């Protein structure tokens, strides 16, 4: 029994691993035919009639592989030039819970392809469709919308401590020869 359950566990974890590492290919994307103009942008539905759901739940395009690829593309297409590593700057932050144009994959895809009037450029015709989905996956991972196991384990951003008011030992040393950080008056 024991060996069977171990084997079963092993098999399960392998299966889970397979799903986690599943590669996406352009022709497999369920959204290739999804025209961005069907994306609903409003929570108001005149006549009390919610618009028909125009897409299926995204189960495919958000594997760990997609997220990792999306992270690279996010740099290569200079998304990081405006959104940085999720904190924002020229463009809004992507790691918080605010979504001006919606957080669904289709909404984010529409934002990337069509642009938005307040500064988001239109990348239609500039980025391959499957790459757009990979960027979408990465963007969603930034704000914790994806399961933890597919989100990047490590950020590529500058790895430099965490406290905003940090002063670095290098120039403390320069000004205060022979003084350890611990001895510095608070």
Partner 1 sequence: MRRACRPIFVFFAVAALFVGCNSRSHTSQPENPPHGGVMQPYAGKLPPDDGQWTMPAKDYGAYRYSQLDQINTSNAKDLKLAFTFSTGTTNGLEAAPLVVNNTMYIITSFPNMLYALDLTKPGAPMKWAYDPKPVASAKGVACCDLVNRGGSYYNGKIIYATLDGYVVGVNANDGHEVWKTKVGDINIGETITMAAQVVKDKVLVGNSGGEFGVRGWIVALNADTGKLVWKAYNTGPDKDVLIGLRFKPFYDMDKGKDLGVSTWNPDQWKIGGGNVWGWIAYDPDLNIVYHGTGNPGPWNPDERPGDNKWTSGIFARDADTGEALWYYQWSPHDMHDYDGINEQILLDLPIDGKTRKVLVRPERNGYIYVLDRTTGEVLSATPYGHITTSSGVDLKTGRLKVNEELKPSPGKVVHGACPAAPGVKDWNPSAFSPKTGFLYLPHNNLCMDWESVETGYIAGTPYVGADVKMYPGPGGNGGVFSAWDPINKKEVWHFDDRFPVWSGALATAGNVVFYGTMDGWFIARDAQDGHELWRFKTGSGIIGQPITYKGPDGKQYVAILSGVGGWAGAVVTGGLDVRDPTAALGFANATAELPKYTNKGGMLYVFQLP
Which residues of the shown chain bind partner 1 in the complex (CB under 8 A)?
75-78, 81-82, 84-93, 95-96, 98, 115, 117-121, 157-160, 162, 164-172, 174-177, 179, 185
By beta-carbon proximity to partner 1, the closer residue of 54 and 155 is: 155
CB of 64 to partner 1, least distance (A): 21
C-alpha dist (Å) from residue 34 to 29, 88, 104, 106, 121: 10, 28, 13, 8, 20
Which residues are CB-neighbours of 6 under 8 A, at least 6 positions away?
Answer: none
* Closest separation in Å from C-beta 134 to partner 1: 18
Helix/strand/coil for 59? coil
Shortest approach of partner 1 to residue 114 CB, angstroms?
A: 12
Q: Which residues have a Cβ under 8 Å from the Cβ of 109 and sit 6 or more positions away?
A: 31, 34, 36, 39, 132, 133, 136
Q: Which is nearer to partner 1, 38 or 173 (CB)?
A: 173
Residue 21 C-beta: closest distance to partner 1, Å: 26
- C-alpha 15: how far from its chain's center? 24
């Amino acid at each position: 029994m024991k060996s069977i359950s171990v084997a079963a566990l092993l098999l399960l974890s392998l299966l889970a691993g397979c799903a986690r590492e599943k590669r996406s290919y352009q022709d497999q994307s369920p959204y290739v035919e999804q025209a961005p103009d069907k994306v609903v942008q409003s929570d108001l539905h005149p006549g009390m009639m919610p618009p028909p759901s125009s897409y299926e739940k995204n189960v495919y395009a958000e594997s760990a592989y997609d997220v990792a690829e999306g992270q690279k593309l996010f740099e290569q297409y200079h998304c990081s030039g405006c959104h940085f590593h999720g904190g924002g700057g020229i463009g809004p932050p992507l790691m918080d819970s605010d979504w001006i144009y919606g957080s669904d994959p289709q909404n984010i895809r529409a934002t990337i392809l069509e642009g938005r009037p307040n500064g988001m450029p239109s990348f239609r015709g500039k980025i391959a469709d499957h790459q757009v989905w990979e960027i979408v996956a990465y963007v969603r991972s930034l704000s914790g919308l994806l399961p933890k196991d597919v989100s990047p384990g490590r950020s590529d951003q500058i790895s430099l401590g965490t406290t905003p008011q940090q002063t670095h030992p290098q120039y403390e040393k320069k000004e205060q020869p022979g003084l350890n950080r611990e001895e510095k008056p608070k």
